[in-house]
């Protein structure tokens, strides 16, 4: 996983000035295709089903649990996650 602060900008509310930081998290499923093909060669399951049901869907469901506090975009074998406060996830 790669974490990068995207930007910091100021939000003014009356006399209070706040800084807001957006973090980009790049989550990659390493060995996405190779591992699925290796598993499918040993059992009677297509590699595409293994990738979807055992790799991609569980990660997608986990990220969806945080949908109120993050935005995320699924890519082929990875996800881009936009988080605004990483402290709440460190517990």
Q: Are 67 and 18 in contact (CB under 8 A)?
A: no
pLDDT of residue 64: 87
DSSP three-state, residue 43: coil
- Give the predicted TM-score (pTM) of the model: 0.62
> How is the chain split into domains, by residue range?
2-89
Task: Please give the average per-residue pLDDT across 33-46, as a whole number.
Answer: 91
Task: Please give the average per-residue pLDDT across 6-17, as a whole number.
Answer: 52
pLDDT of residue 46: 93
Task: Please give the average per-residue pLDDT across 38-53, as a whole number.
Answer: 91
% of the chain exceeding 90 in pLDDT = 12
């Amino acid at each position: 996983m790669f974490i990068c602060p995207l930007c910091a900008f100021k939000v003014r509310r009356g006399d209070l000035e706040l800084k807001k930081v957006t973090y980009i998290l790049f989550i990659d499923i390493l060995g996405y295709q190779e591992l699925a093909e290796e598993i499918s060669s040993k059992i009677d399951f297509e590699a595409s089903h293994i990738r979807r049901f055992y790799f991609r869907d569980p990660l997608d469901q986990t990220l969806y649990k945080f949908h109120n506090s993050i935005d995320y975009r699924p890519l082929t074998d990875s996800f881009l996650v936009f988080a605004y406060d990483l402290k709440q996830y460190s517990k």
